[in-house]
Amino acid sequence: MNPALETIFAVLRHEPSLDSGGRTAFLRAQPHPGLDYFKGRLSCEQDFKPRALALERAGMTARENLEGPFDLVLVMPERQKEMTLADLAHAHDILADGGVLLCALPNDWGAKRFEHRLRDCAGNIGTLSKHHCRGFWARKNAQWNQQTLTEWRAGGEFRKVVDDRFWSVPGLFAWDRIDEGSRLLSSRLPPEMTGVAADLGCGWGFLSDFILRHRPGITNLDLYDADARAIEAAKRNLAGVSRKTRVQFFWHNVTTGLEKPGHYDWIVSNPPFHETRQPDPVIGMRFIIAAAHALKPDGHLWLVANKHLPYEKLMREGFAETSVVVQQEGYKILSGKTPNPVAQLPARKQR
């Protein structure tokens, strides 16, 4: 059960007048049986590939960016301040005049604080507490504070970071800095890298930028990430870096495997280990298995991970040669050569 999503439906049951029966949008959408109520008039927005695919499996179409007007906009933000406020501004922008914005957040994500922010912007709002969450809503009218909305929109826009060198956007992993794990991995990548390479979980593209600038033997480089905004940032950051290397971008859920078996000479990765608030090392394990299947028989995997993550056993199962290249500052770099792509994908935790 998703408590925030359950809270949205609790609000609609408690305040049925909020839904006029018109066009409805769902931002950061996730599947739920209750969405059948909106059948034929629901549009979903989701830029995270696993959830977009889950919506499609449930018979709904997910788009990366919706345009209005809608009579009701449901918002279930992620846990990041600038992104949450940008979502509220986006919901306002695609609402029809008189339409309703309905948002739900867990209490320990600062729900009350964002409720107050919406009240400051919109004036009169409603609220309901349920499932350790808060649902709050407002109707679109001329009283909304336009300066506040402009500030919220700007908070969710792409901007230059790291000494004005790279493009990024709030909500991405290490969105405004170079992650120390990725920095460490870049400093240890072998200089003899040649051929076809991939960056799994590329983020805004730091590792790929390093490879293009410092490993001229790489002829093709594929970038994969489940976040569409990460792919957009990486495209901006790698534009024009190298004219000799063919670069391709894939909005893809790496944990399901890659559609290029035995294709790559080199794979690098700083795999995520969170999809929700709870750590989930199975995500990184699935990255390792996906890499083993996608590498050539003499291919190499180099990845960085937090020291506590239990990847060594799976690396030994998935590769003929493995090593812990270095451990320092809370990170470890693992390498594998000559994949043995017979390991099975571990089961994911039930959400």
Average pLDDT of span 172-198 = 97
**Is the pLDDT at 281 greater than 90, yes or no?**
no
Instruction: Give the separation between CA 287 and CA 337, rounded to whole angstroms.
Output: 15
Instruction: Give the separation between CA 227 and CA 179, rounded to whole angstroms.
Output: 17
Hey, do 3-155 and 159-339 end up sharing a CATH topology, with the first three levels equal? yes
User: Domain-by-domain residue ranges, the chain?
Assistant: 3-155, 159-339
Average pLDDT of span 34-48 = 94
Find tokens 């994911």 and name the residue.
348
Task: Determine the 3-state secondary structure of 263 from DSSP.
Answer: coil
Average pLDDT of span 318-347 = 85
Task: Determine the 3-state secondary structure of 324 from DSSP.
Answer: strand
262: left (phi over 0), alpha (psi -120 to 50) or beta: left
Q: Which two tokens stand for residue 335?
A: 């390498």
Report whether 308 contacts 314 (CB < 8 A): no
Rounded percentage of the chain residues whose pLDDT exceeds 70: 95
**pLDDT for the residue numbered 340:** 84
DSSP state of 75: E
What is the layout of strands, in order, in the sheet containing 264-269? Answer: 246-251, 218-225, 195-200, 264-269, 295-306, 331-339, 319-328
**Is the pLDDT at 274 greater than 90, yes or no?**
no
Bridge-based pairing of strands 264-269 and 295-306 is parallel
Tell me: the pLDDT tens digits for 216-253?
Answer: 999 999 999 999 999 999 999 999 897 899 999 999 99
**pLDDT for the residue numbered 279:** 63
Residue 325 neighbours by CB under 8 Å, 6+ apart: 188, 302, 332, 333, 334, 335
DSSP state of 342: T
Average pLDDT of span 17-32 = 96
1 pLDDT tier (thresholds 50, 70, 90): confident
* DSSP-assigned beta bridge partners for residue 300: 266, 337
69: cis peptide before it, omega within 30°?
Answer: yes
Residue in 268, 235, 239, 234 with CA at minimum distance from that of residue 254:
268
**pLDDT for the residue numbered 167:** 98
**pLDDT for the residue numbered 240:** 82
What is the layout of strands, in order, in the sheet containing 70-75? Answer: 62-63, 42-45, 24-27, 70-75, 95-106, 133-139, 126-130
Instruction: Label residues 286-314 b or e (16+ Cβ within 10 Å = b).
Output: bbbbbbbbbbbeebbbbbbbeeebebeeb
35 pLDDT tier (thresholds 50, 70, 90): very high
Report whether 178 contacts 194 (CB < 8 A): no
Tell me: the pLDDT tens digits for 65-100?
Answer: 899 899 999 999 987 899 999 999 999 999 999 999
Average pLDDT of span 144-165 = 97
Helices (H), 189-327: 206-214, 228-238, 282-294, 312-318
Bridge-based pairing of strands 159-161 and 166-168 is antiparallel
Q: What is the CATH number of domain 3-155?
A: 3.40.50.150
**pLDDT for the residue numbered 278:** 59
Q: What is the CATH number of domain 159-339?
A: 3.40.50.150
* DSSP-assigned beta bridge partners for residue 301: 267, 336
**Is the pLDDT at 343 greater than 70, yes or no?**
no
**pLDDT for the residue numbered 275:** 59
Residue 123 neighbours by CB under 8 Å, 6+ apart: 138, 143, 144
Average pLDDT of span 161-170 = 96
pTM: 0.92
* DSSP-assigned beta bridge partners for residue 27: 45, 75
